Amino acid sequence: DIQMTQSPSSVSASVGDRVTITCRASQGISSWLVWYQQKPGKAPKLLIYAASSLQSGVPSRFSGSGSGTDFTLTISSLQPEDFATYYCQQANSFPPTFGQGTKLEIK
Amino acid sequence: QVQLQESGPGVVKPSETLSLTCTVSGGSISSYYWSWIRQPPGKGLEWIGYSSYSGSTNSNPSLKSRVTISVDTSKNQISLKLSSVTAADTAVYYCARSLIMGDYDALSLGYWGQGTLVTVSS
């Protein structure tokens, strides 16, 4: 299985801050990388697919980049509704695997 | 807008079979991949398996011998059966649909159900 490692595991930030979360795959996955946002008690929500494609309806302050083994999710200016847990997932090969999650908390 | 709703028993006894159904409304089952994912309380996400629109299935090797996934197009439902459950199978179980139609990018999950908590306990 391909291992996905996110960093940091948690981060504290303020409204208006720029935040970057990284995700590293244990082997190359081209651009087959998805980012999800999960709020407590809710299902994950797809934000970014194919490493950098913004899902319809997702605010443009979210962006993704990377290919191969190293990827990033950037939130350009944090809003109150962005405090949540973020997961990356490789969609290159079966079984799809998720990172352990990054919890974004209010400072 | 497609909606997914999981249903099934909230408690299953150890060694028994967990059975869940995902009912799809607002869209057809055809042409998409349908997956089951689970999340133990306070932990991360684990992919259980999928069924394609054509009926082909694949399950996580860590669970493969215990998992059965099937699609009933007449009822617009996807089912999950997980046999010989233990406490380690206690989790919120989600069904989800691939983002786009067809075989390309079948593993990006664009639509999710709200999830259902299943507790394994005697």
Residues near B56 by beta carbon (within 8 Å), at least 6 away in sequence = none
Q: Which helix (H) or strand (E) holds A102?
A: strand A102-106
**Could you report the per-residue pLDDT of A60-80, keeping only the tens digit for each?**
999 999 999 999 999 999 999
**Could you report the per-residue pLDDT of B34-80, keeping only the tens digit for each?**
999 999 999 999 999 999 988 899 999 999 689 999 999 899 999 99
Please indicate if any CB of chain A lies within 8 Å of the CB of B40.
no
Q: Is A98's CB within 8 Å of B45's CB?
A: yes
Burial environment of residue B99 by CB neighbours within 10 A (0 to 12, 13 to 18, 19 or more): buried
Selected residue with higher pLDDT from A29 and B100 = A29
Contact residues on chain B for A29, CB-CB shorter than 8 A: none
Please indicate if any CB of chain A lies within 8 Å of the CB of B58.
yes
Mean pLDDT of A54-62: 97
Please count the CA atoms within 13 angstroms of the CA of A84 that sit on its side-chain side. Answer: 20
Please indicate if any CB of chain A lies within 8 Å of the CB of B112.
yes
